[in-house]
Homo-oligomer: A and B are copies of this chain.
C-alpha cells in the first residue's frame, strides 16, 4: 500500500518498466490491491470493470494509455507505429464511450504524438504529454482545494456524497480536495460520508481514502443526512459534479435531496468541480440522465433484495437547480450561477 505520507494516486505511470499501476477500486474496502497494466488490453479491462473510475482519473488513464502503447510498440517504421497508437486509442475509447475526460486524455496525447517525425521522438513526446495531462489535473485539484478551504470556519463538520476524491482524480480530489486542503491549513475537520446508494462509493471509497489520510470520517446512510442537519451536526455540504449547465448541477443521485435539506436548515451547500465540468451553453432540459440497470438496486453481494416482478427506477444522476447552490468551487475561484455566467464563459474562451 502507498504510504499515507505520499499523496494517494489511483493511476501512476512507470516509464522504466513500462507499466501503468492502478488501485483496483472494486476490491476496496475489502482489500487494497495495486495492479499493473503492461499493455493496453489490461488497462482497457481495468477501465471497463471500474477498477479505474472517476472523470479526471479516466482522463489521466487515457493519456497514460497512449503513452504505454507508444513505449511498448515494436514498430520499426513511423506509419506502422502511428497505426498501432491509433488502434490503441480506439480500444481505450470503446471502454467508456460516454466518458468525455477519457476521450480528452487520449486525444491530447494522440495529437502530440502525431506531430513528431521519428518513433523515438514520438515516444518521448507521448510520455511528456501524458505527464502534462496528469500534472494539470493535480494542479487543478490543489487549486480547488485552496479556494475551498478559505471559506471554511476553523472547526468544521462537512457532509459529502459519493466519491469526489483522490480516487476519482490524479490525486487530492475535488470535494475531498477541499477537505484535504482544509486539514493542511490547520482546520479541524470532521466528515460525514453518505454511503451513496446504490453503488456505495461513499461507504467504500470516500471513507477509505479519508481514513487512509488520517481524516476523521463517519459513514451514514443517505437518508440520515437531513436528521443530522436538524440536530446541528453539519456546518456545510460539499459535493462534486458531473456536469454543470447554466441552470443546474448534475451529480450522483441524492445530491438534490442534500441541497433541499441543507437549504431548509440554512446550511451552505457547495459544489467543488474543475472548469472542465461546465457545460454553460446547455440547460437542464437539454441533458438526458442515464438510467442504470435494475440489478444495481435489486441485488447486493449476490443476494436478491427486490422480488423479480417489481419495477425499479434507477437514474444515475439528479439535477440541483443553481438557486440551491451557495457556490461552485473551481480552480479559478468560487462562482455563483447565474450571476457568474459571463465570467465563466470568458475564462472558458481564454483557455
Contact = CB atoms under 8 A, between A and B. Distances in A.
B224 A221 contact: no
A195 B297 CA distance: 9
Interface string A225-258: 1111010000000000000000000000110110
A222 B221 CA distance: 9
A164 to B, nearest CB: 16
A223 B223 contact: yes
Interface residues of A, number: 54
Contact of A313 (B220, B254, B312): B220
Contact of A29 (B300, B301, B304, B313): B304
B222 A223 contact: yes
A288 interface: no
Interface string A301-313: 1111111011111
A72 interface: no
Among A260, A297, A302, residue most surrounded by chain B Cβ atoms (within 10 Å) = A260
Given A253-B227, A261-B260, A219 B312 contact: yes
B254 A261 contact: no
A220 to B, nearest CB: 5
A218 B310 contact: yes
B305 A200 contact: yes
5 A-B pairs with the lowest CB-CB distances in the bound complex, closest first: A301-B301, A223-B254, A226-B257, A227-B318, A222-B223
